[in-house]
């Protein structure tokens, strides 16, 4: 997959999956625009200082002005990959409105605002583009969302947004898809579940390869897909 000189936004690019995605994009020749929200994220980002990486600091992706600042500086946007989000477990009876709204803000609102900005940028360029969102297994298999209903609802919203938007912008040669991971093999997930069977979990590098295809010029026909990336989990 050749991304030579193509500009790609990667939100959540400083996280475990984001680092794998940005690394693969760099190898494929892309110029990556990666927002960060805290200094610690930027300081520990292994691709910091790479000539193909543009870090955009103090970016709040749930704020329209912050999202606009991220996208407005990119004259020819090819792809926008939205990995930013958050997770929380709690039964409904222990989930207040503020906790629900936080999940919606972190997952659905950030994705919606970035999709909107990406679509407007791509339409200005007139060359089409690709958008890849991140849903979750629970967004497809609602019963698996027991104990984390707020998170499940927010990610189901991302899935619905992806499919609806894909229909809306197909005429502009903008193909919109999402991946739906199960639990991924990350240091944080291993710490949270020290007795789990890690060998069945998909690796972030494997999920990154699926994302790269969906975001690439090689993807000419796939749109409106919520692609499971479960591995053996």
- Residues 207, 210, 215, CA angle at the centre, nearest 5°? 125
Report pLDDT for 114.
Answer: 98
CA torsion sign for 171, 172, 173, 174 is negative
Q: Are 72 and 63 in contact (CB under 8 A)?
A: no
Report pLDDT for 73.
Answer: 83
List of E strands, the chain: 7-11, 31-35, 53-56, 77-82, 129-134, 174-181, 226-229
What's the pLDDT tens digit per position in 29-66?
999 999 999 999 999 999 999 999 999 999 999 999 99
Report pLDDT for 89.
Answer: 94
Report pLDDT for 192.
Answer: 87
> Cα-atom radius of gyration of the chain, to the nearest Å?
17
Report pLDDT for 179.
Answer: 98
Give the CATH superfamily of 7-229. Answer: NAD(P)-binding Rossmann-like Domain (3.40.50.720)
Domain residue spans in the chain? 7-229
Report pLDDT for 59.
Answer: 94
Kindly give the parts of the chain with pLDDT less than 50: none
Report pLDDT for 184.
Answer: 92
């Amino acid at each position: 997959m050749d991304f030579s000189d193509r500009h790609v936004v990667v939100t959540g690019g400083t996280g475990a999956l984001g680092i794998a995605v940005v690394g693969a994009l760099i190898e494929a020749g892309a110029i990556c625009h990666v927002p960060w929200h805290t200094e610690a994220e930027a300081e520990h980002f292994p691709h910091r200082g790479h000539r193909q990486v543009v870090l955009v600091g103090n970016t709040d992706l749930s704020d329209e002005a912050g999202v606009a600042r991220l996208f407005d500086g990119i004259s020819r946007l090819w792809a926008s990959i939205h990995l930013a989000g958050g997770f929380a477990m709690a039964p409904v009876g222990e989930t207040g409105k503020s906790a629900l709204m936080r999940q919606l803000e972190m997952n659905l609102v950030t994705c919606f605002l970035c999709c909107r900005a990406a679509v407007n940028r791509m339409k200005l360029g007139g060359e089409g583009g690709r958008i890849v969102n991140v849903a979750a297994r629970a967004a497809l298999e609602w019963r698996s969302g027991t104990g984390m209903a707020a998170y499940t609802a927010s990610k189901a919203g991302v899935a619905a947004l992806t499919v609806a938007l894909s229909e809306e912008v197909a005429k502009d040669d903008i193909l919109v898809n999402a991946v739906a991971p199960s639990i991924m093999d990350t240091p944080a997930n291993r710490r949270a579940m020290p007795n789990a069977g890690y060998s069945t979990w998909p690796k972030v590098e494997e999920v990154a390869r699926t994302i790269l295809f969906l975001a690439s010029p090689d993807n000419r026909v796939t749109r409106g897909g919520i692609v499971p990336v479960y591995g053996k989990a």
